[in-house]
Amino acid sequence: DQQVKQNSPSLSVQEGRISILNCDYTNSMFDYFLWYKKYPAEGPTFLISISSIKDKNEDGRFTVFLNKSAKHLSLHIVPSQPGDSAVYFCAASARLNFGNEKLTFGTGTRLTIIP
C-alpha cells in the first residue's frame, strides 16, 4: 500500500505565479516530512523539511505546510521560475519519535513552469 500519496502526476503553472504541490500520508507514526526535487538524469536533491511539531516551514521561495489532523502537507513555491520545472517527491519518516531513518516516498509530481 502507498503510505505517501501524491495524487497529481503533473502540474503546469505560469511563471511568476504560485505553485502548490500536495501530498497525503496514511501512517500516523510519520513525524518528519521532506520534499525532494529531481531533474532528469540526476538523483533527487533535498529541498525543504518540516517536523511534526511545526505546521509551517519557510525557506526563501519555498514554504511547506503540515496539517497533521488531515495527514496532509503541501509545498508552495512563489514566485515560480522556469528552473523550478522538475519532478517533486514528498517523503516521510518516523525518525523523531522512533529513530527510523528510512524515508518513504510518494510517486512524484512533475511541475512545468510556463514562461
Partner 1 sequence: DAGVIQSPRHEVTEMGQEVTLRCKPISGHDYLFWYRQTMMRGLELLIYFNNNVPIDDSGMPEDRFSAKMPNASFSTLKIQPSEPRDSAVYFCASSFWGGTGELFFGEGSRLTVL
Q: Is 98 in the site for partner 1 (CB under 8 A)?
A: no
With CB under 8 A as the contact rule, the residue among 20, 71, 74, 105 that binds partner 1 is 105
Site membership for partner 1, residue 101 (CB under 8 A):
yes
Stated as kind and residue range, the H or E segment containing 96 is: helix 95-98
Residue 1 touches partner 1, criterion: CB under 8 A: no
For 4-22, the DSSP string reads EE---SEEEEETTS-EEEE
DSSP character at residue 60: T
Positions that interact with partner 1 (CB under 8 A) = 2, 6, 32, 34, 41-46, 49, 89, 91, 93, 95, 101-108
